Structure 1
Amino acid sequence: MTESPARQAILRHFVTSAFAHHKPSRVAVAVSGGGDSMALLCVMAEWAKSEKIPLFAVTVNHGLRDEAAHEAAFVAETCQRLQVNHTTLDWTGWQGEGNLQDAARRARYDLMAEWSKGLGISQIALAHTCDDQAETFFMRLARASGIDGLTGMQRRRTDQGITWVRPFLMAARDDLRSYLRDIHQPWIDDPTNDDERFDRIKARRAMEALAPLGVDADVVGRVMDHLAQVRTALDYASHDHALECMRMDHGDLIVDRRRFAEAAPEITRRLMSSALRWIASADYGPRGLALQEFISSALRGRDATLHGVRLIAGTEQFRLTREYDAVRDTTSAAVDLWDNRWRVKNNENQSLVIRALGEDGLAQVAERPPNAPPRPALMSSPALFDGPTLVASPILGLGSHEIVLDVGKDDVFTTLLCH
């Protein structure tokens, strides 16, 4: 079969463009052995060689199918031929409960993030295509998702300190397979890609049924791009409104009720969801009726809790703080991150632990400062202990140790622009 220079040039352009303004010193590519990821591996191997950038490939073996080990070995053999360093990561965490696909996806990203950090890699390329994007649109449409959900996957997204890059998000699945045929590179089809028990496969079948109407991946992609522009405008409006009505205080958020209420309902919803997600250090913010009821409580001056966050009402403003019950039993060594947010600065004492101040910590405070936050906010605030003895409570100005928000964590205002 004759190789198509034009097709290869287009795919090479996608990769080059993805890293044009963020050229890495070294980069990784996630490879499962399927057609999409094998195409990305081959194109990136050529690109990395010409750019003189070390390329690493990683495969996650979830151990859920007998064929998985063979697929990982197949990727390793291909990488050896391409002179790409390859690693297989094994996941053994499935306990047979909950959503398997979601658990496997989370584990896959966690394993790859930890692996890449150990190698000094800050960017990992993923092989999602415009077909994946369109399927995601229909899956989220079925869940009545809003603007954020319907804009689909981002070309670049930073999470867990890693930038996840999708160079082929505008490439068609069929084109990638044609490219592989051009270069005589085999791939392995996952049998679950035809299993209609999965929502993604149902979405794929729905797209096939809509094709006669002209609704294909390209059309859906253009609609999603339009929605993405709307989302960007909303993000900036939410960011600007946050600067007008919100301030940070020891990891809590103090919100001016009147100014908060002046924005359009969609802006207040986005702002509150982002605030709760930031305080709870959660992957996603709350949605739906629960979020609307929480906003209603804020506007009416009523206390409430949601998503591991407590709302403490005041006369003219309200405070959003961590809910004590959400962190009551969370304890970390002073050298580790606590509640995914807090870190002890310049600590050399290995025996100290960081946990919520709690009742026992408050009982050891002789006198609180006049400007101390409300009791619920104090209870859930990070404090340093040596056994049962309180060593430091930054929120109360006690002790010489600093407990600071993790230096790698964006503030709430930044998250409004990069979620």
Structure 2
Amino acid sequence: MPDAGRGRQPLSRIRGHLRRRDRAAGAQLPVVSGAGAEALRAAVAPVLDRAGAGTLVVALSGGGDSTALLLLARDWARARGREILAVTVDHGLRPGSAAEAAAAGALCARLGVPHAVRAWTGWDGAGNLQDAARRARRRLIGRFARDRGAAAVLLGHTLDDQAETFLMRLARGSGVDGLAAMRAETAWDRLPVLRPLLGLRRAALRDHLRAEGVAWSEDPSNADPRFARVRFRAALETLEALGLGPERLAETAAAMGRARVALERATADLARDALTAGPAGDVAIDLARTGAAPREIRLRLFAGALGWVAGDPYRPRLASLERALEALEAGAAPGLTLHGCLARRVGARVLIRREPAAVAPPVPLARGRWDGRWEWRGAGADPGLTIGALGAEGLARCGDWRARGLKREALLSTPALWRGRTLVAAPIARPEAAAAAFARISAAPAPWELTLLR
């Protein structure tokens, strides 16, 4: 079967992507028990050394973990003649958050590390606050790093975070992926992300800060038992006495990470044979080719396709995913919505399209990316132009769009170039008219490896 066999995108990229991730996907970093500065520096160096040439960006909350990361990264960079920057996201959710961001900036000034603050103002009071804050943090830090051409972002997750996350997900009934260890080396949309502290205990890092005479901020929510992580953190003290301490839990999480890699490889093999990527950023799953695959692999394939179409690196909840796939495979639901997508059973195929009501709002063309996967690939964007959904209004201006052989439902969520309410170009619905105006905008979705199987 040719490389692009059943799709319009080179699906073999999946395999290469998975091979590149193997070295960190299930690996457990050595646990460092001592708090000596040299031992800590030696522990983080192997991960930091993986960063490519260029500036490293420390995600600095001002708490103990990220502050220790700042010091250790600063020492590493000085020894190698590298540059580091720090960025703090002020969520504005507590009265003291601005002061904590300012304190982080003052520490950076003392250490000679350039620092910036990015404020989040997008909380509308609806939905899951912690999830919204996490997504905003990732978006703001990622944009800061990309704007500066950074080689990698550094995150301060520790061995304790690994253990707490494992317990929280175990309580939620998570499967292999949820229980798998955080990766020491991963990526946010091709932006490398490193977690140098995964083999270190939180207490050792705070001992290091005290020895260096460096203070840190304590988020009051870290002591608030209303938050699940705080309760699980307290439970760890009891579990440690029973032999289930952070080190042992991290070992189990690492084993789950290795299992995850094996499952991802099997899913990648099935994807090459059973997925077809359409020109409107949609996907078709051939049920005749997936029927003999184990249920776990079919679920992973479905989740990966949904994530790619939605431009969302996070998977749907397992229970929702299982119900949807079961209904579609059985033909019990001709169509349903999930994860910002429309999924329809048509014959022996499941068609997955972006849900028009779920697309992102228009953004300035200079922003470079819209709806998680459509990208501007040039420079010098007209500041008066935006990228947004074509929608019904734009489609009505596209003349005989039916000649393209694409469904209206699929076209509504495709990208269009707008100047105010004037349609400038529609590269999917009307490519021949868009050629000149849209020449520098990719009309193809981002590569599969950005979200599939992540």
Shorter-chain TM-score category?
Answer: 0.7 to 0.9
Q: Which amino acid aligns with 1:340?
A: G
Q: 1:342 and 2:374 equivalent? A: yes
Q: Distance in 2 between matches of 1:165 and 1:245?
A: 33
Q: Distance in 1 between matches of 2:250 and 2:317?
A: 25
Q: Which structure 2 residue ranges, 5 or more long, are not aligned?
A: 1-32
Partner residue of 1:290 out of 295, 320, 328: 320
2:209 is matched with 180
Q: Tell which structure's C-alpha radius of gyration is larger.
A: 1
Cα RMSD, aligned residues only: 3.1
Superposed, which structure 2 residues align to 1:1-400 within 5 Å?
7-159=36-188, 162-250=191-279, 251-301=281-331, 303-306=334-337, 307-327=339-359, 330-331=361-362, 337-343=369-375, 350=384, 354-356=388-390, 358=392, 361=395, 364-366=398-400, 368-369=402-403, 372-383=405-416, 387=421, 391-395=425-429, 397-400=431-434
Q: Distance in 2 between matches of 1:415 and 1:108?
A: 18
Higher RCO (Cα < 8 Å, 6 or more apart)? 2
TM-score normalised to structure 1 length? 0.86
Quote the offset at 1:252 in angstroms. Answer: 1.5
**8 Å contact from structure 2 (residues 313, 451) kept in 1:** no
**8 Å contact from structure 1 (residues 294, 305) kept in 2:** yes
Identity of aligned residues (%): 35
Q: Distance in 2 between matches of 1:33 and 1:388?
A: 45
**8 Å contact from structure 2 (residues 57, 86) kept in 1:** yes
Quickly say closer, same or farther: Cα 1:414–1:77, change in 2 above 3 A: closer
Quickly say closer, same or farther: Cα 1:246–1:396, change in 2 above 3 A: farther
Quickly say closer, same or farther: Cα 1:202–1:333, change in 2 above 3 A: closer
Q: Distance in 1 between matches of 2:114 and 2:397?
A: 56
Quickly say closer, same or farther: Cα 1:319–1:208, change in 2 above 3 A: same
Q: SS state of the match for residue 402, structure 2?
A: coil
Q: SS state of the match for residue 301, structure 2?
A: helix
Quote the offset at 1:405 in angstroms. Answer: 4.8
1:141-199 CA deviation, whole Å, 9 max, x = no partner? 12111211111432223225533321001101111122223333333333332221111
Q: Distance in 2 between matches of 1:352 and 1:415?
A: 24
Quickly say closer, same or farther: Cα 1:410–1:47, change in 2 above 3 A: same
Q: Distance in 2 between matches of 1:367 and 1:187?
A: 59
Quickly say closer, same or farther: Cα 1:348–1:134, change in 2 above 3 A: closer
Q: SS state of the match for residue 285, structure 2?
A: strand
Q: Which amino acid aligns with 2:45?
A: T
Quickly say closer, same or farther: Cα 1:367–1:104, change in 2 above 3 A: closer
Q: Which amino acid aligns with 2:356?
A: Y
Quote the offset at 1:285 in angstroms. Answer: 2.5
Quote the offset at 1:268 in angstroms. Answer: 0.4
Q: Distance in 2 between matches of 1:164 and 1:320?
A: 30
Q: Which structure 1 residue ranges, 5 or more long, are not aligned?
A: none
Quickly say closer, same or farther: Cα 1:314–1:203, change in 2 above 3 A: same
Q: SS state of the match for residue 150, structure 2?
A: coil
- Larger mean Cα displacement after TM superposition, 240-249 or 7-16: 7-16
- Larger mean Cα displacement after TM superposition, 262-271 or 104-113: 104-113
Quote the offset at 1:318 in angstroms. Answer: 3.4
